[in-house]
Amino acid sequence: MSEKHSELSSFIWSVCDDLLRGLFKGHEYGDVILPFVVLRRLDCVLENSKDKVIELYENYSKKIDDPTPIILNEIGLSFFNHSKYDLHRLRQDHLNISLNFTNYLNGYSQNVREIIENFQLDKPIEKLNKNGKLYQLVETFSSIDLHPNVVDNHTMGLIFEELLRRFSEMSNETSGEHYTPRDEIRLLVSLVFSGSKEDLQGEGKVRSLFDCCSGTGGILTIGKNWILENINPNIEINLYGQELNPQTYSVCKSDMLITGENPNNIRLGSSLSNDHFQGMKFDYLMSNVPFGVSWKGEQDFIENESKNPNGRFFVGTPRSSDGSLLFLQNMISKMEPTGSRIGVIFNGSPLFTGDSGSGESNIRKWIIENDWLECVVQLPDQLFFNTGITTYIWIVTNNKKKERKGKVQLIDGSDFYKPMKKSLGNKRKFITDEMVGELTKLYEDFKETKHSKIYPNEYFGYTKVIIEQPLVKDGKVETDKQGKPKPDGSLRDTERIPLGVDVDEYFEKEVKPHLPNSWMDRTKDTIGYEINFTKYFYQYTPLKSVKELTLELLELEKESDGLMNKLIG
C-alpha cells in the first residue's frame, strides 16, 4: 500500500465516522461514500476542461439535439459535465445546496448519469440534506485532491478497492452476494493465469477477461493487475463484466471509469436471461457465481433456450433451486475456439448433485467427456462473509496441455488457511499469499501428492443399470405373453458400475450371487458423472487397541481423582 493510498483511504474513511455515524447504519456507509469518491475523481479529471465544456454546451445545445460527440471530441475525454457546478463550486451557495447538487448531477453526460442513477442516491441525499449534512459532505470531499497528476489510476484503484473492502466487511451479512474475499480472488487468478503464462508473454499482446457475475469488479481488477505484476507489464488486458444488482453494477462501472478502463464494457442485467455479450468470445473468464440461488424467475427463458441445439443450455439444465451450472454453461459458450481458460468458484453442489440422467449429471458429463475440466481445488470452509460452507475452484479450458489431456487434477486445499484474529461475519479463515503460492505450485507441478490426485476423465463416470427381479404370485413366477418373467416393481433396484468395468462381468460377480433370479434391463442404462472429494482424499485412521483405550481411561481417572481432591481440599 503506497503512502498516498493509505493516507487518502484513511481520511475518506474518517468521513464516515464524522458525518454519517448515527444518521446511517454501518452497512449503508458505502452507499454514500463510494458515489462521492467517484464524483470527486470525475471533478478532478474534468477540472481543466470545465469552463470550455460549459461554453461548448451553451453554444451547440441551441443548434443540435445532442452535442455530446462534439464536446467529447473537443476535450478528448469519454465524459463531461456541462453544469456550472462541481463539488468545489457547490460550496459557494450553502442555502441552495440541494437544488444545485441536483443540477450538478444532471449536468453529467449520459454514461455517467446512468451510473449515478443506479447508485440510487436520491434517498441518501434527501436524508443528508434534511439533517444538514449534505453541505458538510460536499465541503469535505471538495478538499480531497484526486487529480490524475497527484493520484494516478493505479493508486485510485487501490483507494477505491480499500474503501470497498471496508464497507463490505461492515455489511458482511449481505456482502458475500457481491463481494468476493480478496484472498480467494488471488488464488483464483493465480491458478487461471499460471496455467497460461506462455500465452500472456511477449510484445504486442492483447487479451480479454470477462466476469459474468462481476459484482464490484474485484476479479477483473485483481486479475489484470496480477498479470501485469507477475507475467507481462506491457500486455493490454481488456476487461468485460455483467452484473445483476444495480448499485453493485454502478460500483463496478465507476471503478472502471475512475481507473481509466472502458466503463461501457460493464453492463447491467442477468447473464442468463439478458446476455449483453451474446456471440462474443473471451480469452479468460472468471467468476464467483451465486451459491444455491433459484432461477425460477428466469425459467421460461432458460428452458426455451435449452430447446435450441445452438443454445447455451441445450445439454441440460440443473434443478431450478440452484443455477450455478447455468453460469458455467454461459461461460463455456464464450470460449475462444483457439483456446480459453475459465476459473469459477462454486459450492459443493455442482460436483455431485443429481443422479445419472439429471441435468446436473448431464452437464458434468458434457464437460468431462469434452476434456474441458482441468482441475478442481477444494478450499477451506468459513472463507466468505455470509456463509461458512466449503467452496471449490473449477478450472475449465478447451486447450489443455499435452500432459493434462484426458485427465483431471484434484487438489485438497482445505487445510491451507490461517484463522483470522477477528471474524467478519462467517469469515473466520483466510488464505495467505504464501499459501496461494503453495497451492499454485501443487497445480503447476501436476504430480500425485498427499494434497494432489490425478485421475483419467472416465474415473468420474458410471453406468447406472436397472436390476429387475421376477414378480411372484402364489409361489409362481408371473410371465408375459412371450413367456418372459414379469418384473416386480417393488423389488427393482439399481447398480452404479464404474466406466471401464465390463457391465456383464460386474453383474455376474457382484449381483447374481446375491440375487440369482435377477436380470438387467439394459435398455434403461444411463451414464452419470460425479466428483466426490471426500472419497478421493479419505485417509483411514486405525482404531485404537484395547490396551491403548484402557491406558487412556486410567489416565482420565487419575485426572478426575486429582480434580476431585482439589475441590474437596
Taking residue 413's Cβ as centre, other Cβ atoms within 10 Å add up to 22
Residue 559 has pLDDT above 70, yes or no: no
Each residue's pLDDT tens digit, 276-331: 999 999 999 999 998 888 999 999 999 999 999 999 999 999 999 999 999 999 99
Burial code (b: 16+ CB inside 10 Å, e: under 16) for 343-374 equals bbbbbbbbbbbbebebbbbbbbbbbbeebbbb
> Average pLDDT for residues 422-432, to the nearest whole number?
86
Residues 6+ apart with CB under 8 A from 491: 468, 469
Q: What would the grid cell of residue 497 be?
A: 458400475
Whether residue 72 contacts residue 53, with contact meaning beta carbons closer than 8 Å, is answered with no
388-394-397 Cα angle (round to 5): 165
pLDDT-derived band at 541, boundaries 50, 70, 90: low
DSSP per-residue codes, 198-214: HHH-STT-EEEEEETT-
pLDDT value, residue 418: 94
Say if residue 146 is exposed, middle or buried (CB neighbours under 10 Å; 0-12, 13-18, 19+).
Answer: buried
- CA gap 323, 34 in Å, rounded: 31
pLDDT value, residue 93: 92
pLDDT value, residue 175: 41
Residue 342 has pLDDT above 70, yes or no: yes
Residue 467 has pLDDT above 90, yes or no: yes
- CA gap 405, 402 in Å, rounded: 5
Each residue's pLDDT tens digit, 210-243: 999 998 899 999 999 999 999 999 999 999 999 9
Say if residue 442 is exposed, middle or buried (CB neighbours under 10 Å; 0-12, 13-18, 19+).
Answer: buried
Each residue's pLDDT tens digit, 109-153: 999 999 999 999 999 999 999 999 999 999 999 999 999 888 888
- CA distance to 16, 29, 423, 494, per residue, from 26 (Å): 9, 6, 17, 55
- Rg of the chain (C-alpha set): 30
pLDDT-derived band at 176, boundaries 50, 70, 90: very low
Q: Are strands 266-268 and 236-243 parallel, antiparallel or unpaired?
A: parallel
- CA gap 351, 393 in Å, rounded: 11
Nearest CA to 328 out of 287, 279, 277 is that of 287
Name which of 172-186, 189-203, 230-244, 458-472 the model is least confident about.
Answer: 172-186
pTM of the complete model: 0.86
More confident of the two residues 3 and 254:
254
Label each residue of 466-535 as H, E or C. EEECECEECCEECECCCCCECECHHHCEEEEEECCCCHHHHHHHHHCCCCCCCEEEEEEEEEEECCCHHH
Nearest CA to 412 out of 445, 375, 379 is that of 379
> Average pLDDT for residues 473-498, to the nearest whole number?
92
pLDDT-derived band at 29, boundaries 50, 70, 90: confident
pLDDT value, residue 173: 46
Residues 6+ apart with CB under 8 A from 153: 258, 259, 260
Q: Are strands 266-268 and 284-288 parallel, antiparallel or unpaired?
A: unpaired
Nearest CA to 436 out of 408, 465, 411 is that of 411
Specify whether domain 171-457 bears CATH 3.40.50.150.
Answer: yes
- CA gap 100, 87 in Å, rounded: 10
Nearest CA to 499 out of 402, 365, 408, 318 is that of 365
Residues in the chain: 569
- CA distance to 330, 351, 504, 506, 528, per residue, from 463 (Å): 28, 17, 12, 11, 6
Each residue's pLDDT tens digit, 391-407: 999 999 999 999 999 99
More confident of the two residues 36 and 3:
36
Residue that is written with C-alpha cell 463496478 in the block: 252
Name which of 25-39, 187-201, 227-241, 324-338 the model is least confident about.
Answer: 25-39
Q: What dihedral do alpha carbons 33, 38, 39, 40 form, nearest 10°?
A: 90
Residue 336 has pLDDT above 80, yes or no: yes
- CA gap 161, 169 in Å, rounded: 12
Q: Are strands 206-211 and 284-288 parallel, antiparallel or unpaired?
A: parallel
Residues of the chain above pLDDT 70, percent: 94
Label each residue of 244-288 as H, E or C. CCHHHHHHHHHHHHHCCCCHHHEEECCCCCCCCCCCCCECEEEEE
Residue 547 has pLDDT above 90, yes or no: no
Domain boundaries, the chain: 3-161, 171-457, 460-534
Residue 248 has pLDDT above 60, yes or no: yes
- CA gap 108, 82 in Å, rounded: 6
- CA gap 144, 11 in Å, rounded: 9
More confident of the two residues 30 and 243:
243
Please tell me whether residue 387 adopts helix, strand or coil conformation.
coil
Residue 1 has pLDDT above 90, yes or no: no
Strand (E) positions, 296-451?
341-346, 373-378, 392-397, 407-412, 418-424, 427-430
Whether residue 369 contacts residue 316, with contact meaning beta carbons closer than 8 Å, is answered with no
Mean pLDDT of the chain: 90
